[in-house]
């Protein structure tokens, strides 16, 4: 009995020592940093576009390591509440000791404009054990894409195409309406011809003009002509009177 108790005690002691040794094994050191590319100086996340980060990875553990994947997530800037998990990119690339490796990571954004907390991490494996290392954890600003003149031209072209299609559909609809929909008959109304009242035309006499607007030599000629006309008229009446007297004498 004493021998059995001694053996069990030794076995428990060995297990405790092995467990403590396993827990005291340090995590393999893999240094990771992430930055936005040079064309994104302010570190903005643009909606509707492909946003990229460049991860610089270096294996300092002195052991064989493998880059498994790179993932990310978006959180509320104040409460750190998870908003959405980003895409995960698989690699499976061996990480050589003391060799820096640049790894790209891309994701798309469809978030509300404003500040968000962006978290990106890297997963690597050493001797079958997977470890997670944080690569980027900071607050970034989500913005809308800047409108260029090419986008404006494209929108104008789209609007023009819509207008042309709408005009064609309207013309086809109107032609179909005229051909297939019976049109109402118009009632013929008899139009009575109105009798026009007689129009009286009054002719102004010779005395209707104003003499101050007529040159004097024209007035003199007109008076001479008027006197001659009146003389002729008197001579004509006298002639007619003498003829009447001769007829009476003959009777």
Q: How far apart are CA 4 and CA 11, in angstroms?
A: 11
Residues 128 and 32 in one domain: yes
**What CA dihedral angle connects 113, 107, 117 and 102, to 10 degrees?**
-140
What's the mean pLDDT when you consider all of the chain? 76
**What's the pLDDT tens digit per position in 97-151?**
888 999 999 999 999 999 999 999 999 999 889 999 999 999 999 999 986 555 5
- What 3-state class would DSSP assign to 78? coil
Confidence bin at 174 (pLDDT 50/70/90): confident
How many structural domains are present in the chain? 2
More confident position, 180 or 122? 122
pLDDT beyond 80 at 170: yes
pLDDT tens track for 181-240: 776 766 655 554 454 555 554 544 445 555 666 666 666 655 555 554 444 444 444 545
> Quick check: is 115 in a domain?
yes
Closest alpha carbon to 55 in 97, 89, 109, 105: 105
Note the pLDDT of residue 222.
Answer: 55
Distance of alpha carbon 118 from alpha carbon 43, whole angstroms: 11
Residue 24 DSSP label: T
Query: 79 pLDDT band (50/70/90 cuts)?
Result: very high
Q: Considering only CA atoms, which of 61, 75, 62 is closest in space to residue 121? A: 75
Of 246 and 214, more confident: 214
pTM for the predicted model, two decimal places:
0.51
86 contact partners, CB below 8 Å, separation of at least 6 = 71, 72, 73, 74, 107, 120
Are residues 39 and 126 both part of a single domain? yes
- Claim to verify: residue 65 and residue 170 sit in the same structural domain: no
- What pLDDT, on a 0 to 100 scale, did the predictor assign at position 161? 85
Residue 132's domain comprises 26-143
Question: Residue 124 and residue 133: Cα distance in Å, rounded?
Answer: 8
The CATH number of the domain where 99 resides is what?
2.60.40.10
Q: How far apart are CA 26 and CA 44, in angstroms?
A: 37
In this structure, are strands 82-85 and 65-75 parallel, antiparallel, or unpaired? antiparallel
User: Please, are residues 139 and 116 in contact by the beta-carbon 8 Å criterion?
Assistant: yes
Identify whether residues 58 and 102 lie together within a single domain.
Answer: yes
The CA-atom distances, in angstroms, between 208 and each of 17, 112, 120, 199, 202 are 147, 93, 110, 21, 12
Residue 12: pLDDT band with limits 50, 70, 90:
low
Q: Is the pLDDT of residue 72 over 90?
A: yes
| Structural domain includes residue 75 | yes
- The pLDDT, as a whole number, for residue 86 is 95
């Amino acid at each position: 009995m004493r021998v059995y108790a001694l053996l069990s005690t030794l076995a428990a002691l060995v297990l405790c020592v092995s467990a403590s040794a396993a827990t005291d094994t340090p995590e393999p050191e893999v240094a990771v940093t992430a930055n936005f590319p040079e064309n994104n100086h302010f570190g903005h996340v643009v909606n509707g576009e492909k946003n990229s980060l460049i991860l610089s990875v270096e294996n300092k553990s002195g052991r064989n390591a493998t880059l498994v994947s790179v993932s990310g997530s978006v959180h509320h800037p104040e409460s750190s509440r998870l908003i959405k998990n980003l895409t995960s990119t698989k690699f499976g690339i061996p990480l050589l000791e003391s060799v820096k490796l640049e790894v790209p990571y891309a994701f798309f954004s469809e978030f509300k404009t404003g500040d968000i907390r962006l978290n990106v991490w890297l997963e690597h494996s050493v001797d079958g054990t997977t470890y997670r290392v944080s690569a980027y954890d900071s607050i970034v600003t989500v913005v809308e894409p800047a409108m260029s003149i090419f986008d404006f031209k494209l929108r104008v072209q789209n609007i023009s195409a819509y207008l042309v299609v709408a005009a064609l559909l309207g013309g086809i609809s109107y032609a179909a309406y005229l051909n297939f929909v019976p049109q109402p008959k118009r009632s013929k109304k008899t139009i009575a011809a109105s009798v026009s009242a007689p129009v009286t035309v009054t002719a102004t006499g010779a005395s209707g003009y104003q003499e101050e607007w007529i040159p004097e030599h024209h007035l003199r000629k007109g008076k001479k002509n008027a006197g001659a006309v009146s003389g002729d008229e008197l001579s004509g009446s006298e002639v007619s009177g003498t003829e009447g007297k001769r007829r009476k004498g003959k009777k």
